[in-house]
Structure 1
């Protein structure tokens, strides 16, 4: 899928993280990629995160999944919205919606949440801490956008929804199938279904907070530290007042902390692993039977296409004469021929085998490792 007549440079310059933008159906041919019944089926699965929001206009009730199949038959006439996270992990046709937005680096992409709403359904005025492209898949939804919010913006009391107490709409649009609304972080917005069978695909992005980065980075460093690495002062001199923490001691202690934090190579390696950690690491994508190196060579010789798991995260970082490949929280140093493969597998979701046939065992070994981890697979014939 591609966006026709969409100026990426203009969008990044004038709109990205600055102001909302309505993009009227930019697809050459829009086809809704998911049936509502399939979405409801996913909401019944225990490994899939889902919510059912009942009500509207200030009286919302939330039920968390997995939902019983019989629940949908008992919804009645009250407006309702079903929201299912990471649908792209389970439905390849939905995962294809990410491709048009890959002018944003992959490590920033979170997942695609899909919502299905009946007439009047919505989740109320709110704001997010991340960018989102809201693609109208089916039916119609009226979107209003409003003020820039922050941590001090007053919220209504609710256990499950972060609803704004005050919403000052500045723009309003009615989205038809194929239309896209971009909303930057912290911009208030509210979407209400107009008619039944309203489906919206939310392509969300990640924006780690400073506190999150520091906390996880420090936790990772502490886990690897030797308890014998301690403060010492063999040149200690007598102080006039034993109650003082001297400037020399403070400088040494400060250096102990900051020197470790300031290692750029260590941070790069940690962030590569951290940023590619799966959103749902508890889900097991490993194959039923391990793949051998001989099977890898046979698949490649037979021309079997290599396909990335939509639930897996791939990134690489330039490292000296090669790159470090990061896949699902694991790192793989790639040099020489492996570097070319790492760059290509990060760029493409499907890899034709011809580029791998002449590669050495190091590449075949990496393919085997990724396949046995469940990050890639050889495409099966229908």
Structure 2
């Protein structure tokens, strides 16, 4: 699926992270990519993150999956919502929904969450700390948006849900199949199903917090430090008051910390690996038997296409020497010399055919074999 009526440049300059926007069915031909029964089936599986939210007389109550199949049969007339996370990792047609939104860099993309709701159901007024595109798959949903929120915004007392206490709508729309609502970070919003069989696809984007970056970058650097790298003051002079921490001492201490964290190239390599870590790292996608370099060379020479695992994260960083560092699922791979283009080709999209000349480059063959063995890539003849 692709857009036929959507001005990306205008959206980025006038709307992105600035204001909500309703986009009326911009698709060439919208088709709902998943049936409700299939979504319910996923919610019953181990390893799939799901939640069931039921509105009762005491308000909203949440249950975490996996859900037993009989749970759906036991639901009464109270409005309820089923939320299933990262459905793109399990359903290729859902993963394809991400492609039209790749005007946002891949490293920012998180996943596709799907919600199914009965008439009058929703998760309550809330705000997210990331951008989201809400695509109406089938049925109708009423969306109301409100003001910009932050950590000081009053919330309802609830064990599981972060619901805004005093929600006042500034915009109000009913979305039909194919319609999209873009909501920037921090903007309050509330969606309620209008009629049964309401399905909404939420394409969410990652936005690391400053605290997250500082904590994890510092931890990474600390792991590489040695115990005997310590403060020194060989030019020490007698102080007027021994209780004072002098400006010169503070300058040295401060410099020790900043110097340890200021290596931009090291930060780039760390961030590439850190950011490419899979959403669910405990899931093992690896092959039972290694593919072997010979098979990789044969497939490349024959022009066999490759497909990326939707659960894998690919990105790369260009190097000043013309090479590149490829990051896949938390690991880095050097791409140098004639193989420098490999990183960009592997990050070009979910499916592609590589240059057959790569079959003659041992480093490129080894990298591809590693990615196939760990389940991040698959040749189409084997997928």
Smaller-chain TM-score range?
over 0.9
TM-score, normalized by length of structure 1?
Answer: 0.97
For residue 240 of structure 1, what is the aligned residue in structure 2?
240
For the aligned residues, what is the CA RMSD? Answer: 1.5
1:173 and 2:173 are equivalent in the alignment: yes
Query: Offset at 1:341?
Result: 1.4
Partner deviation per Cα, 1:272-331 (whole Å, 9 max, x = no partner) = 111111111111111122221112122223443111011111111111221111111111
Gapped runs of 5+ residues in structure 1?
A: none
Aligned ranges for residues 216-231 of structure 1 at < 5 Å?
A: 216-231=216-231
Q: Distance in 2 between the 1:227 and 1:97 partners?
A: 50
Instruction: Answer yes or no: is the 8 Å Cα contact 2:345–2:354 preserved in 1.
Output: no
Q: Distance in 2 between matches of 1:51 and 1:359?
A: 49
Q: The residue matched to 2:66 in structure 1 has which SS? A: coil
CA displacement at 1:361 relative to structure 2: 1.6
Between the two proteins, the alignment pairs up a number of residues equal to 382
**8 A contact 1:56–1:123 mirrored in 2:** no
Can you list the C-alpha shifts for 1:127-178, whole angstroms capped at 9, x where unaligned? 1111000000111111111111111110000011110001111111111111
1:331 and 2:332 aligned: yes
CA shift, 1:239, in A, is 2.1
Question: Please, which runs of 5 or more residues in structure 2 have no aligned partner?
Answer: none
CA contact (8 A) 1:32 1:138 kept: yes
Deviates more, 1:26-35 or 1:349-358: 349-358
Alignment pair present for 1:135 and 2:125 = no
Match of 1:192 in 2: 192
Check the 8 A contact 1:337/1:359 in 2, yes or no.
no
* Counterpart-to-counterpart distance in 2, 1:246 and 1:172: 59
Q: TM-score, normalised by structure 2?
A: 0.96
CA distance in 2, matches of 1:122, 1:248: 59
Question: 2: CA distance between counterparts of 1:355 and 1:184?
Answer: 43
- The whole-number CA distance in structure 2 between the counterparts of 1:368 and 1:186 is 42
Query: Once structures 1 and 2 are overlaid, which stretch shifts more, 13-22 or 372-381?
Result: 372-381
8 Å Cα contact 1:57-1:124 kept in structure 2: no
Evaluate the alpha carbon distance shift between residue 260 and residue 82 of structure 1 in structure 2; reply closer, same or farther with a 3 A threshold: same
The match for 2:150 is 150
- Partners of 1:121 and 1:271 in 2: CA distance: 39
Query: Mean Cα displacement is larger for which, 210-219 or 358-367?
Result: 358-367
After the TM superposition, which parts of structure 1 deviate over 4 Å for at least 4 consecutive aligned residues? 353-359
Give the drift of 1:56. Answer: 6.6
